């Protein structure tokens, strides 16, 4: 049973966990922003590989197949782990940056213009 | 001033925020696992672009230049937003998956073998 | 009018062009395999961005819209330019590697088993 | 012995090879621009994985280690195969687009300004 759950785990707790893991192994020397951004992108590629040939609708079913679901959960974990390590390496606060970005997105995509449309804000 | 901070923000709170944002715009129809994994990988590519030609050491300095830092924070936010939306679309718990993945990594990379080494576990 | 065309242009000609461009600017110092693989992946992300929210079928239409088509052609060019520079930096022969890979793929995906199926060879 | 070599192989010949391979397997139905751009980006991620923790200088040595070199050649082949299939699916001419892009790059990066500098053209 996992003891961590999204409902009660803060980003700071996860950042501390991954930092402790890296420090115990003397891995901070490899964790430059450049290297971590590469690792993050490579893991994002692995996550994507599960859905290459599925239609968007089929991809929801792929994510429910038990064997695939376990692998997909691992790739998602890898992506977020590297995002947390990137935040550790740069001192960036993820939640604060998400809040700021969502405020900017709310201005770019006002509800009345953006509803039901996938167009980029420059084309709304 | 951002009201969200990593120190006090749970993943569940952020998941709810991005879900509310998507629902207000009727965007859930676009948020299949396939599409979200693509968007995540594309944003990971944008994050990486800030560090293409810098050495690993220089990349730490890049992340401290005020203008770049603001942009890098936005790209990091975009990456994590899509990871949260992917978790929403698939029902995956990020913290639980991270915990499981770190336990697996601890077995693959025992401290005494992995210390100071960047080799893959199959080559330790 | 472009003077180069796929019908008459060899990979070696393109490799020489991009090498001359880099040498004139003293850019070979930046063109390590690591940096070029990052740049390639970042450009692949930009190519993908044109199709994030389109269905697979709609993506064919996107690629025919004149404005988008011009941009998509540029991103495709960027991807292949970095692949050529990667080949220059490593001394790898692209055509020979493609031939070898296609022979391996032909063994992994025999026509009778693979016809009309998108499954990975391990699942055929 | 490979019979194809960069010195004598045109892009059109490679495009025909990969098209024949897909047609024999009735795979064109999966080869939308969206899907192919994803596959290309995923393979670019795999290429990058060989160099995550190496410095730029070390990455040149990685690409010379026989076992790694064989794998790296395969990943490079995969990237270019998907670029060729993308060109087939969209009708884009790769060489013509590369020529146009290099002319644009020559204007953005004049030799006297760009020599020895990795800055983006907007920052030269």
D49-78, pLDDT tens digit by residue?
Answer: 999 999 999 999 999 999 999 999 999 999
Residues whose CB falls within 8 Å of the CB of residue A41, separated by 6 or more in sequence, listed in order: B41, B44, B45, B47, B48, C38, C41, C42, C45, D45, D48
Read off the tokens for D81.
């195969």
Summarised one tens digit per residue, pLDDT across range C3-32 is 999 999 999 999 999 999 999 999 999 999
Residuewise pLDDT in 10s, chain A (124 residues): 569 999 999 999 999 999 999 999 999 999 999 999 999 999 999 999 999 999 999 999 999 999 999 999 999 999 999 999 999 999 999 999 999 999 999 999 999 999 999 998 888 8
C89 and D60 Cβ atoms separated by less than 8 Å: yes
Number of CB pairs, chain A paired with chain B, less than 8 A apart: 259
Where b means 16+ CB within 10 Å and e means fewer, A42-65 reads bbbbbbbbbbbbbbbeebbebbee
- Which residue among A25, A33, A63 places its CB closest to the CB of B60? A33
- Give the separation between CA B18 and CA A120, rounded to whole angstroms: 17
- Give the separation between CA A95 and CA B8, rounded to whole angstroms: 9
Taking CB atoms and an 8 Å cutoff, what residues of chain B touch A3? 99
Taking CB atoms and an 8 Å cutoff, what residues of chain C touch D46? none
Taking CB atoms and an 8 Å cutoff, what residues of chain C touch D31? none
Are B55 and D53 inside 8 Å of each other by CB? Answer: no
The predicted structure's pLDDT at residue A1? 58
> Nearest chain A Cα to B27, which residue?
A116
Whether D123 has a pLDDT exceeding 90, the answer reads no
B1 Cα to chain C: minimum distance (Å): 31
- Which residue among B45, B53, B55 places its CB closest to the CB of D55? B55
The predicted structure's pLDDT at residue C1? 58
- Give the separation between CA A51 and CA B88, rounded to whole angstroms: 17
C2 and D96 Cβ atoms separated by less than 8 Å: yes
Are B95 and A38 inside 8 Å of each other by CB? Answer: no
CA angle C34, D5, C109 (to 5 degrees): 80
The predicted structure's pLDDT at residue D122? 87
The whole-angstrom distance between residue B85's C-alpha and the CA centroid of its chain comes to 12
Read off the tokens for B77.
């936010």
Taking CB atoms and an 8 Å cutoff, what residues of chain C touch B48? 38, 41-42
Residue D10's beta-bridge partner residues? C10
- Give the separation between CA A109 and CA A117, rounded to whole angstroms: 10
Provide the terminal-to-terminal Cα distance of chain D, rounded to the nearest Å. Answer: 46
Read off the tokens for D14.
């490679």
Quick check: pTM over 0.90? yes
Query: Residue A11, CB half-sphere, CA atoms under 13 Å: how many?
Result: 29
The predicted structure's pLDDT at residue B1? 58
The whole-chain average pLDDT of chain D stands at 96
B32 Cα to chain C: minimum distance (Å): 9
B11 and A9 Cβ atoms separated by less than 8 Å: yes
The whole-chain average pLDDT of chain C stands at 96
Residue with tokens 């204007």: D107
D30 Cα to chain A: minimum distance (Å): 6
A97 and B14 Cβ atoms separated by less than 8 Å: no
Number of CB pairs, chain C paired with chain D, less than 8 A apart: 259
Three-state DSSP state, D119: coil
> Nearest chain A Cα to D39, which residue?
A52
C3 Cα to chain A: minimum distance (Å): 34
Chain C: partners with 3+ C-beta pairs within 8 Å: A, B, D
Read off the tokens for D54.
């190496």
Are A118 and C53 inside 8 Å of each other by CB? Answer: yes
A108 Cα to chain B: minimum distance (Å): 12
Identify the helix (H) or strand (E) that includes residue B64. none
C38 and A38 Cβ atoms separated by less than 8 Å: yes
Burial (CB count within 10 angstroms: exposed 0-12, middle 13-18, buried 19+), residue D3 = exposed
- Which residue among B30, B38, B45 places its CB closest to the CB of C41? B45
Summary count for chain D: helices (H), strands (E): 6, 0
Query: Residue D56, CB half-sphere, CA atoms under 13 Å: how many?
Result: 21
Mean pLDDT, rounded, for D11-30 = 97
Query: Residue A104, CB half-sphere, CA atoms under 13 Å: how many?
Result: 14
**Residue A23 DSSP label:** H
Distances (CA, A) of B29 to A85, B12, B35, C51, D1: 32, 21, 10, 15, 50
Q: Tell me if ipTM is over 0.95.
A: yes
Rg (CA), chain A: 18
- Which residue among D37, D94, D106 places its CB closest to the CB of C6? D94
Mutant choice from A73, A85, A100, A118 vs B, greatest count of B C-beta within 10 A: A73
C49 and C28 Cβ atoms separated by less than 8 Å: no
B118 Cα to chain D: minimum distance (Å): 6
Q: Whose CA is closest to A59, among C56, D55, D45?
A: C56
């Amino acid at each position: 049973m996992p003891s961590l759950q999204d409902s009660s785990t803060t980003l700071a707790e996860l950042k501390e966990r991954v930092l402790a893991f890296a420090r115990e192994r003397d891995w901070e020397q490899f964790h430059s922003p450049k290297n971590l951004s590469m690792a993050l992108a490579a893991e994002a590629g692995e996550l994507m590989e599960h859905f290459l040939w599925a239609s968007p609708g089929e991809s929801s079913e792929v994510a429910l197949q038990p064997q695939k679901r376990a692998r997909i959960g691992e790739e998602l974990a890898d992506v977020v782990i590297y995002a947390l390590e990137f935040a550790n390496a740069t001192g960036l606060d993820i939640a604060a940056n998400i809040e700021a970005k969502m405020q900017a997105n709310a201005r770019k995509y006002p509800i009345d213009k953006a509803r039901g449309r996938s167009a980029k804000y420059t084309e709304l």
